[in-house]
Amino acid sequence: MIGALNLERPSGERFRDAEIMAMETLAGQVATALDNAHLYARSRQTVRELSDSLAQLRLAQAQLIQSAKLAAVGQLAAGVAHEINNPLTTIAGLSELMLPDLPEAGGLRDDMALILRETQRARSVVRRLLDFSRHPEPHRDLTDLNALVHDTVLLIYHAAIARNIYIAEAYAEDLPPTQLDANRMKQVALNLLNNAVQAIARGGHIYVDTGRSRRDAAPGVWLRVRDTGCGISPENMERIFEPFFTTKSPNEGTGLGLSVSYGIVQDHGGIIEVESIINQGSTFTVWLPVAGRG
């Protein structure tokens, strides 16, 4: 039963048989119509739920593919880095030994100094790559994220001012101390800040702030670096966390900053998110879980 129909005559007279029959037919039709309307609403709801879960499934799949791809590329790169590290060590060591014995005249010593510098540069890239892939046992202490970020801002402050970039810092006062590998997390902050500086060609702003928020009910803290720089195109957006992906000249970028940062944040159980509008700027947010109620 989906409802009841109550009919009365104002005069109180009884309905005739034919009238009752007509009413019964009508009631049947109304009932069918109501039933159909309910069914329709329910099927619309089901369709909506299905398309929601389909969208969630697609998102989860895309994230899975992305992290599997990063892991594979990371392993490959780590293998290559190991192979390259040894010969580079030999070249750097021998150049250093030979340098003082070379004659100043004729430029030989300068050439050797250049070989040494370039080899050291290559080694530092390789070392960073190994750091990224090794996932060393994290060394964590209760850390004040605000102080860590501010210390890192100081490192790039002068480079920024020299490029007409102004940095505004806004730190949340109620931030709980967080279990962090401070050195590695500094590296994350430095990478994000360097990228922000490099994204701004002719003057601009970098906004650095921190706060606390929950994700899936887990308490955490976040660090955000926003710049008014060149922004990231949608095609590049899919690749920025890949090792060696860079849009910069070899002097400016190695393409390792974000992939290393991604690994570090992941080791902390956190998440890096990016939003960007081309020619307007980018926002990188790092969220990190904190123990307890936060």
Q: x/- site string to Mg ion, residues 160 to 199, per CB under 5 A?
A: -----------------------------------x----
CA 171-173-178 angle, to 5 degrees, is 85
> How many binding residues for Mg ion (CB under 5 A)?
2
> How far apart, in whole angstroms, are the C-alpha atoms of residue 235 and residue 238?
6
Least distance (Å) between residue 146 CB and ligand ADP: 21
Amino acid at 204: G
Least distance (Å) between residue 60 CB and ligand ADP: 24
Q: Which of residues 236-255 bind Mg ion (CB under 5 A)?
A: none
Nearer to ligand ADP, 173 or 235 (CB): 235
Measured torsion, CA atoms of residues 44, 49, 53, 54, in degrees rounded to the nearest 10: 0
Q: Determine, following the binding rule CB under 5 A, whether residue 257 of this chain makes contact with Mg ion.
A: yes
Strands 204-215 and 281-289: unpaired
> How far apart, in whole angstroms, are the C-alpha atoms of residue 75 and residue 243?
10
Which residue in the shown chain puts its C-beta closest to ligand ADP?
257
Q: CB neighbours (10 Å) of residue 8? A: 8
> How far apart, in whole angstroms, are the C-alpha atoms of residue 60 and residue 75?
23
Sign (positive/negative) of CA torsion 132, 136, 137, 143? Answer: negative
Least distance (Å) between residue 76 CB and ligand ADP: 17
240 touches, from Mg ion, ligand ADP, none (C-beta below 5 to 8 Å by class): ligand ADP
Instruction: By CB under 6 A, name the binding residues for ligand ADP.
Output: 191, 195-196, 199, 227, 229-232, 236, 240, 245-248, 253-259, 282
Least distance (Å) between residue 59 CB and ligand ADP: 22
4: which residues sit within 8 A by CB, 6+ positions away? none
Nearer to Mg ion, 92 or 224 (CB): 224
Q: CB neighbours (10 Å) of residue 223? A: 28
Least distance (Å) between residue 244 CB and Mg ion: 12
219 touches, from ligand ADP, Mg ion, none (C-beta below 5 to 8 Å by class): none
Least distance (Å) between residue 257 CB and Mg ion: 3
Interface residues with Mg ion (CB under 5 A) are 195, 257
